Copies of this chain bind each other. A is one copy, B any other.
Amino acid sequence: MIERDTPIRVVQCGIGAMGTEMLRLLTDDPGVTVVGAVDVDPETIGRDVGAITGGGDVGIEVADDLESVLEATEPDAVCLATADAAAEAMVADLLTCLRAGADVVSSNGGFFYPYRTHPVLARKVDRVARKNDASVLCTGLNPGFALDTLVVALTAVSESIDAIEASRTVDFSPYGAGVLEPGGFGLAPDEWTRRRDAGDLAGHESFPAQIRMIADGIGLDLDAVVQREFDPVVADEHRPVASEYPDIEAGEVAGFEQTYAGLVDGDPVVTLTLAAVVDPAASGLEGGDRIAIRGVPDTTVTTEAPFEPGPTTWATVVNALPNVSNADPGLKTMLDLPLPSASLGDMRKFLDPDR
């Protein structure tokens, strides 16, 4: 393995639940030096980075202005975990980092396959990245891995494919209002349906982009991507929620099942399903991820337990840092970069010394 002497200098931007864990992973890596940290929360601003990750002070305080931090620290890369906002809002931070010449790896799920979802914005980000000799990737678990990148990787052994069906059943009982409220958890079924029909409930919004990524990844031309199902799962009994969010009571919506399909000649060729439910087992839903590729050969893969959304997301983002650092300038997707992997020990092992 190639090694380079100097650690990679990284700024962590966004220090919420996700960003704190990224900061911890970065701090623990001897191949990384955290040179700055940025957040918008007044309670976090001014805190020492070391204290945030449970250690002693390291003399780096969380600042409130990304641009000043970039100017002062000139980092090699930025880990971006700002609030789970729409792509449009988060892209401003991406652009700020790129204009400072920093590579970016971000958990921005709305911008993980942006050439299809935000083509104008994507071309702009790509242009700015190239101009500043920087590269950028948005990734995570889902979108980013479980129902897209892993699906594509499994097709590597296929000579022909008739249909792909991938699904994921996740227990949402650990989550708080930020996740549960937009999904209509705890509503009466009528109210849930009314709000769904009004376009008022957020299900898994990145399915269209994920289906497009799979199709592009394997060379499939889709006619359209359509929502096939978005239905409530109603509880028959009391179901506890681990957060401050109210428990689900009998007769209330405990979650949803949602399916999108990519169509070829009207047939669903790539179908993705998420069941996001408080205690899915109580509804007879088996937890886990399942990817079935029907064709020559048939390939069906299941996980023993579902990929845990939080930990796998922050790990996937930080693990992608070396591939992003080594990449040619520009806006990248998981289809463009080398095989994703863990980056154990010292990240310098993965860094190309010529970049």
> Which A residues have a C-beta under 8 Å from some C-beta of B?
1, 25, 141, 145-146, 149-150, 152-161, 216-221, 296-305, 307-308, 311-312, 314-316, 318-320, 334-347, 349-350
Residue from B220, B308, B311, B346 within 8 A of A219 (CB atoms)? B346
Bound form: Cα–Cα A305–B302 in Å: 11
A218 touches B149 (CB 8 A): no
CB pair A307–B316 under 8 Å, yes or no, is no
When C-beta atoms are compared, the residue in chain B nearest to A311 turns out to be B297
Query: In the complex, what distance in Å separates the CA atom of A163 from the CA atom of B340?
Result: 18
A99 to B180, CA, bound (A): 61
Given known A159-B314, A159-B318, contact A341–B300 (CB-CB < 8 A): no
* A344–B296 touching, CB < 8 Å: no
How many monomers of this chain does the complex have?
A: 2
Bound: A300/B288 CA distance, A = 10
A307 to B320 CA separation, bound complex (whole angstroms): 28
CB nearest to A318 among chain B residues: B159
Which of B300, B336, B342 is close to A218, meaning CB atoms less than 8 Å apart?
B342
Q: Considering only CB atoms, which chain B residue lies closest to A296 in the complex? A: B311
Chain B residues with CB below 8 A from A298, complex form = 304-305
Q: Which residues of B contact A1 (CB under 8 A)?
A: 216, 219
Nearest-neighbour CB distance to chain B for A126, whole angstroms, equals: 14
Check B150 against A153 for contact (C-beta < 8 Å): yes
**Most chain B beta-carbon neighbours within 10 Å: one of A160, A220, A308, A340:** A340
Instruction: Establish whether residues B159 and A145, one from each chain, have CB atoms under 8 Å apart when the complex forms.
Output: no
22 contacts between A and B (CB under 8 A): A1-B216, A25-B159, A149-B153, A150-B154, A152-B339, A156-B316, A156-B340, A159-B311, A161-B342, A218-B341, A219-B342, A219-B344, A219-B346, A220-B345, A296-B311, A297-B307, A297-B308, A297-B315, A298-B305, A300-B304, A337-B338, A338-B338
